[in-house]
Structure formats: structure tokens, C-alpha cells
């Protein structure tokens, strides 16, 4: 039996809390820190799009959305983005996606730490396959997923229309527990 993915996850530097109204304004500010990146996302979280996107996430039954919170050396917490488990199914497959982190934590170990928390929790909850789906134009995210030890399964051609009207190709990656243990020595 698969366990719930909606748990609060944390370590010394990263806190992932189920997205709640108290995170919304800080998330709005974090999303506004990089205006250009939203062109390669399926949905925008900028300006007038933010409230609609938040409302849609709140209605989604196939998604567990988290506020991504940076914890500094003094214990101060700051919302710097978001991430999600998407489409968990009874076959033991779940996607990690819908991830945005602000420029201040890019290039640090924040994303890797956040993904480790999500991956290890996903496997601990009984999921056997973790997927990542990335716009083919998003080279930075593809490199980050490969760094986790995931393997590219293929490309879904012209499978999604983004908020800009772009018809995107999606690169699909997967990761299994034995691959994760081999790469990271844990699970």
C-alpha cells in the first residue's frame, strides 16, 4: 500500500511544507524574481496569472504542492520557490515537477537537497518509479535531473501547449530506488 506524499519534509537547509495561504505572498515575490524563466514553464506564476495558478493547484487532486523554504544558519526561513509530487498512481509511479526556485538559491545545493528529500520520501512511501518531465528547451533542469542519477526515457513530441501558446516537446526521465541507492548510497 502506498503512503501519503503530503508530509512536511526538512533538513538543516531546506523545509518543504504543503503549500498554504500563509506562503502565497512570499511565493508571489519569489516567482517575480525571474520574469524570463516563465516562458519555458507550462503555466505562468507572474502578475495576474499567479492567483489563478494557485487556485488551480489548490483544486488539483493529483498533486501535492510544497512551498520550498530556505533555512539560513540562524534558522531564519524564507520561501524561495515551490515543488510538487504530480500524478501519483496505484502502480507506484509519481512525478516530481512543477519546481521553481528563485535565482538566489540556483547554483547552490538547494535544489539537490530539496530533490533528495522528495526522492527519499517518495521511495519511503512505496513508490517504485519517480519521473521528471522537462521542457526540451530547459537545459538547466535537464542537467539537474541527470545529476540526480535519473535516466532519459525519451521525448514526448509536441505533447503540451504552454501558457504562451508554444507547443512543447517534453523530455521524460525516470529514477528507480536501486539507481538512487547506487548513486547516493541511501533510500
Position 187 scores a pLDDT of 45
Q: What share of the chain is helix, strand, coil (3-state, %, to 5)?
A: 35, 35, 35
pTM comes to: 0.92
Strands 93-101 and 151-161, bridge-based pairing: unpaired
Position 80 scores a pLDDT of 98
Position 57 scores a pLDDT of 87
Tell me how far CA of residue 168 lies from CA of 39, 57, 85, 125, 187, in angstroms.
Answer: 11, 21, 21, 32, 33
Helices 110-124, 139-147: inter-axial angle, 10-degree rounding: 60
Give me the residue label for grid cell 519569489. Answer: 30
Residue 132 CA to residue 46 CA, distance in Å, equals 23
Q: CB–CB of 28/97 below 8 Å?
A: no
Position 1 scores a pLDDT of 62
Strand order in the sheet with 93-101: 9-10, 14-18, 63-71, 77-86, 93-101, 129-135, 167-176, 151-161
Using the CB atoms, write b or e for 140-175: b if 16+ within 10 Å: ebbebbeebbbeeeeeeeeeeebeeeeebebbbbbb
Position 2 scores a pLDDT of 74
Position 3 scores a pLDDT of 85
Kindly list the structural domains of the chain, giving each domain's residue range(s) and its CATH number in brackets, ordered by start.
Answer: 9-184 (3.40.630.30)
Q: CB–CB of 156/137 below 8 Å?
A: no
Position 164 scores a pLDDT of 93
Mean pLDDT by 10 residues, the chain (187 residues): 85 95 96 91 91 87 94 94 95 95 94 95 96 95 93 96 94 94 65
Position 58 scores a pLDDT of 78
Amino acid at each position: 500500500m502506498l503512503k501519503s506524499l503530503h508530509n512536511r519534509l526538512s533538513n538543516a537547509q531546506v523545509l518543504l511544507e504543503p503549500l498554504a495561504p500563509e506562503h502565497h505572498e512570499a511565493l508571489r515575490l519569489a516567482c517575480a524574481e525571474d520574469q524570463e524563466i516563465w516562458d519555458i514553464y507550462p503555466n505562468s506564476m507572474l502578475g495576474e496569472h499567479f492567483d489563478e495558478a494557485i487556485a488551480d493547484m489548490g483544486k488539483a487532486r493529483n498533486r501535492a504542492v510544497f512551498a520550498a523554504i530556505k533555512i539560513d544558519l540562524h534558522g531564519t526561513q524564507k520561501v524561495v520557490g515551490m515543488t510538487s509530487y504530480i500524478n501519483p498512481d496505484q502502480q507506484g509511479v509519481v512525478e516530481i515537477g512543477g519546481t521553481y526556485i528563485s535565482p538566489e538559491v540556483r547554483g547552490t545545493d538547494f535544489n539537490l537537497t530539496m530533490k533528495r528529500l522528495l526522492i527519499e520520501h517518495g521511495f519511503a512511501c512505496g513508490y517504485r518509479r519517480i519521473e521528471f518531465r522537462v521542457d526540451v528547451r530547459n537545459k538547466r533542469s535537464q542537467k539537474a535531473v541527470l545529476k540526480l542519477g535519473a535516466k532519459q526515457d525519451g521525448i514526448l513530441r509536441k505533447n503540451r501547449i504552454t501558457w504562451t501558446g508554444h507547443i512543447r516537446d517534453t523530455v521524460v526521465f525516470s529514477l528507480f530506488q536501486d539507481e538512487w541507492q547506487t548513486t547516493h548510497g541511501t533510500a
